């Protein structure tokens, strides 16, 4: 079980797709596809829970599992001519993201229960996306990592382009082109590492040992520097880091609710995960040299994202820009790796990884809530735009008094908003605090500027809540009904995590800390 569970987590969704295909050939009803997808993600979630219960965060992955067997890792030769391996493993960096992926995939299948358009294709593409995401987080061979990275591209393109909103085709094409552009740079960086490392291997752990010996120049620049830039662009687009962020708000607005959840909850984390898994340990010298720039970009993300969120009239677009802002906290924590304070470095890096998980949970909750409101009101306008098709509504409040009509829903939104702005006692607080503590020990002025993002977060979250839920009852609020038991069951697991990790974050800290410390040691050894 221990040697096969990771492969099962990656490829079991493909078994679900096969089951759906058989059902399709037998001309089964659409409901059969939904139950197959639900069964698949349920099994995956249960296996992930078992993995979490038996996972030892102190495990250190080795480059050669044949000589040094490790629990929950598999290494099998694949393409011998190029030393490409099927090499998968889990550590404290990937474990929380694997758990997050399994949980959100299960929730999104339940949230997609009302899908009626091309049901077979929708759920099949969803499961294929699941395989790609799990593969990225568990791959320890760069070539294998890249394959799974690309696998995610096509299902997300079609899920946005077919089941999205009025501008879905434009949003899907923009997402595809941005991501493909980043993938080209990622490919160039991968090939360069293979060639210049001297070991002709894509084994990430082996590459960490070989990376210090990388020498040479190209076009007047050190090869290491060019590799860093190529990898950074590839990962920055996925985060997204300013100025590569423009694809995200449109993709969120046009994507169906469940796709927005996966996009914000999981896919954005792949950029920062890639930096921590590949760029940081392989190119520590470049990490140190680039840390100040990364801190500046982090604060730009925080302020720019929050400022744009304030300006939005569309509730979903506001949440999308809030994701840009909150991913800036992750980047600030990551930049703190150069801090002269060991405690500050530890706090910043721990906070970055914790924020990846916590933001995934919080933003998933937010997008689900927005989708539930849209399903009832058929619009998401906080304030109707001035050029709205109905001239009588143009410039007026989109809702008002929703708390009276939907008290349970309003309570969930209040908690999600408070978690998003980092209220103590909720999960967002501790991870954001760690990121700022780490950032302050390394970049005092930059971090002080970044803290203004907290005030901006409060502006757009509290103002949106006041306009939608308080005041006089608006026309769109008259016929609203509170959320159903099924919708509550979707939100409760996320609520438990938001409150539980806010009150008692130790399980998450203990999971990530050993691996984070290893990354810190590698990078700081280059100082």
Instruction: Give me the sign of the Cα torsion angle 139, 140, 144, 147.
Output: positive
Return the pLDDT at 44. Answer: 95
Most confidently modeled range among 1-5, 58-62, 383-387, 392-396: 383-387
Return the pLDDT at 67. Answer: 47
Mean predicted confidence (pLDDT) in 282-300: 91
Q: Which neighbouring-strand residues pair with 61? A: none
Q: Mind giving me the DSSP string for 261-300?
A: HHIIIIIHHHHHHHIIIIIHHH-HHHHHHHHHHHHHHHHH
Per-residue model confidence as pLDDT tens digits over 413-426? 999 999 998 889 99
Return the pLDDT at 118. Answer: 87
d(CA 359, CA 428): 7
Find the range with the poorest average confidence among 66-75, 173-182, 414-423, 483-492: 66-75
Joined tokens for residue 417: 């908003």
Q: If pLDDT is split at 50, 70 and 90, which confidence band does 307 have?
A: very high
Return the pLDDT at 83. Answer: 85
d(CA 315, CA 252): 11
Return the pLDDT at 347. Answer: 92
Residue with tokens 């694809």: 247
d(CA 521, CA 515): 10
Q: Is the pLDDT of residue 218 over 80?
A: no
Q: Is the pLDDT of residue 301 over 90?
A: yes
Joined tokens for residue 384: 């109707």
Residue 200: left (phi > 0), alpha (psi -120 to 50), or beta?
A: left
| Contact indicator for 134, 89 with CB cutoff of 8 Å | no
Most confidently modeled range among 14-23, 70-79, 463-472: 14-23
- What does the H/E/C string look like for 242-271? CCCCCHHHHHHHHCCHHHHHHHHHHHHHHH
d(CA 463, CA 119): 38
Return the pLDDT at 341. Answer: 87
Per-residue model confidence as pLDDT tens digits over 342-397? 888 999 999 999 999 999 999 999 999 999 998 888 888 888 787 777 777 777 77
Mean predicted confidence (pLDDT) in 393-422: 87
For the chain, what percent of residues have pLDDT higher than 90? 47
Q: Is the pLDDT of residue 71 over 60?
A: yes
Q: Which residues contact 339 (CB under 8 A, 6 or more apart)?
A: 345, 348, 438, 441, 442
Q: Which residues contact 387 (CB under 8 A, 6 or more apart)?
A: 394
d(CA 48, CA 32): 24
Task: Name the maximum alpha-carbon separation found in the chain.
Answer: 74
Mean of pLDDT over the chain = 88
Joined tokens for residue 72: 């929950």
């Amino acid at each position: 079980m221990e040697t096969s569970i990771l492969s099962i987590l990656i490829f079991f969704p493909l078994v679900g797709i096969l089951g759906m295909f058989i059902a399709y050939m037998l001309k089964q009803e659409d409901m059969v596809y939904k139950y197959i997808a639900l069964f698949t993600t349920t099994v995956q979630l249960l296996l992930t829970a078992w993995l979490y219960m038996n996972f030892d965060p102190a495990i250190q992955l080795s480059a050669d599992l044949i000589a040094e067997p490790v629990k929950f890792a598999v290494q099998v030769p694949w393409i011998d001519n190029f030393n490409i391996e099927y090499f998968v493993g889990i550590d404290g960096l990937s474990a929380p993201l694997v758990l997050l992926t399994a949980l959100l995939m299960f929730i999104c299948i339940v949230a997609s229960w009302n899908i009626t358009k091309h049901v077979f294709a929708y759920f099949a593409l969803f499961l294929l996306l699941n395989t790609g995401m799990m593969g990225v987080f568990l791959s320890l061979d760069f070539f294998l990592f890249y394959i799974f990275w690309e696998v995610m591209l096509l299902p997300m393109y079609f899920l946005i382009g077919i089941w999205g909103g009025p501008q879905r085709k434009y949003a899907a094409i923009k997402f595809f082109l941005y991501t493909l552009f980043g993938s080209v740079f990622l490919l160039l960086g991968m090939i360069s590492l293979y060639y210049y490392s001297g070991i002709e291997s894509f084994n990430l752990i082996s590459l960490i040992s070989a990376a210090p010996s990388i020498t040479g120049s190209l076009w007047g620049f050190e090869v290491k520097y060019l590799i860093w830039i190529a990898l950074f662009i590839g990962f920055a687009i996925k985060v997204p880091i300013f100025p590569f962020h423009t694809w995200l708000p449109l993709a969120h607005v046009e994507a169906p609710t469940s796709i927005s959840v996966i996009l914000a909850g999981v896919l954005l984390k792949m950029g920062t995960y890639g930096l921590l898994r590949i760029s940081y340990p392989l190119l520590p010298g470049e990490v140190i040299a680039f840390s100040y720039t990364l801190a500046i970009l982090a604060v730009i993300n925080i302020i720019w994202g929050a400022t744009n969120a304030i300006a939005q009239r569309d509730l979903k677009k506001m949440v999308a820009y809030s994701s840009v802002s909150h991913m800036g906290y992750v980047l600030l924590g990551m930049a703190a790796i150069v801090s002269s304070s060991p405690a500050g470095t530890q706090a910043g890096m721990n906070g970055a990884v914790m924020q990846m998980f916590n933001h995934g949970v919080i933003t998933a909750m937010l997008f689900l809530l927005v989708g539930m409101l849209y399903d009832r009101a058929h619009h998401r306008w906080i304030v109707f735009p001035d050029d709205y098709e109905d001239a009588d509504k143009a410039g007026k409040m989109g809702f008002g008094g929703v708390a009276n009509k939907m008290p349970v829903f309003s309570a969930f939104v209040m908690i999600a908003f408070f978690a998003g702005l980092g209220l103590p006692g909720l999960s967002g607080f501790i991870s954001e605090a760690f990121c700022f503590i780490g950032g302050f020990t390394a970049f005092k002025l930059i971090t002080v500027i970044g803290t203004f993002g907290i005030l901006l977060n409060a502006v757009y979250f509290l103002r949106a809540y006041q306009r939608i839920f308080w005041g006089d009852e608006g026309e769109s609020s008259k016929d609203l009904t509170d959320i159903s038991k099924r919708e509550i069951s979707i939100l409760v697991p996320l609520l438990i995590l938001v409150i539980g990790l806010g009150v008692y974050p130790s399980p998450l800290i203990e999971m990530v800390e050993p691996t984070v410390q290893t990354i810190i040691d590698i990078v700081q050894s280059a100082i």
